[in-house]
A and B are shown apart, each in its own frame.
Chain A
């Protein structure tokens, strides 16, 4: 099975409005500790493959990803700030603009995404450990399970 998450991360990193908000801090799941308190996007694979290699039908997979979009919780001097939720929502919106209703495309590695769309932006949450504000963007992706020639 080919995992298209890397391709989506590359597309997010190519989005200039998103990069303006989070710089290079777009990655899969776990946090480097140095990023805590800063704006960032963390992608989580929520699973859900429906096709497998070797199926009679074309090997397609339907996947759901969650993008946790964190706003800042501190300013440059380390003081708490209150505008974090607004920035987090802007980051979520930039993720939607980068991925919503995008049609077929391939990347240099042969990964083939047929469609990506955003199902929802959740409500504002505060991380229970770090108190950082974030929104969760749910992205549905239909992609080939094998590399395209």
Chain B
């Protein structure tokens, strides 16, 4: 009579969580790129001051990080402006963040009393969410392949 034997491989769950983190990071890099494509640049696209000198601080401040059990999985500790990334409160499990650490990113995104909103991040989310399953799968698969 045929039988099946299940052997618990200790550590496999940790490897899967780590791979899921890389899957998420793969998608978040894509989302970050789309957000940068949509971000206003002074003197450039979507500019509030089209005749001003070319800026780009907001664009360069957009970054993505993934945490696994409260620790940053990988990646730079600085954004492209050489500013330190904030310490996000990630908690247990896999958590990812995409955003700007410029002090005015929220004002640009959601608008103010005197400035209309330029929601570069939610626009990027809408543009890229269809790509998420494939990118997540590819990133996870690549991370698992490295471990095997």
Contacts and interface: CB of A to CB of B under 8 A. Distances in A.
Contacts of A68: 110-111
B112 A48 contact: no
Nearest to B112: A127
A47 B113 contact: no
Interface string A40-69: 000011111110000000000000101010
Interface string B107-132: 10111111111010011011001000
A49 B126 contact: yes
Given A50-B129, A64-B122, A44 B111 contact: yes
A125 interface: yes
Interface residues of A, number: 22
Nearest to A132: B113
A122 B106 contact: yes
A44 B126 contact: no
Interface in B68-124: 104, 106-107, 109-117, 119, 122-123
A68 B104 CA distance: 15
A142 to B, nearest CB: 13
B117 A29 contact: yes
Contact of A46 (B104, B110, B115): B110
A128 interface: yes
Contacts of B123: 46-48
A31 B112 CA distance: 9
A64 B122 CA distance: 8
A50 B110 contact: no
A119 B112 CA distance: 20
Interface string A70-106: 0000000000000000000000000000000000000
A27 interface: no
Contact of B110 (A48, A66, A130): A66
Interface string A120-142: 00100101111010001000000
Contacts of B116: 29-30
B66 to A, nearest CB: 19
20 contacts: A29-B111, A29-B117, A30-B116, A36-B113, A46-B109, A46-B110, A46-B117, A47-B122, A48-B122, A48-B125, A49-B126, A50-B129, A64-B122, A68-B111, A128-B104, A128-B112, A129-B113, A130-B113, A132-B113, A136-B106
Given A122-B106, A128-B112, 12 more contacts: A29-B116, A36-B113, A44-B111, A46-B110, A46-B123, A47-B122, A48-B126, A50-B126, A64-B119, A66-B117, A129-B112, A130-B114
- Those 3 A-B pairs whose CB atoms lie nearest each other, nearest first: A46-B119, A48-B126, A46-B122
Interface of B: 104, 106-107, 109-117, 119, 122-123, 125-126, 129
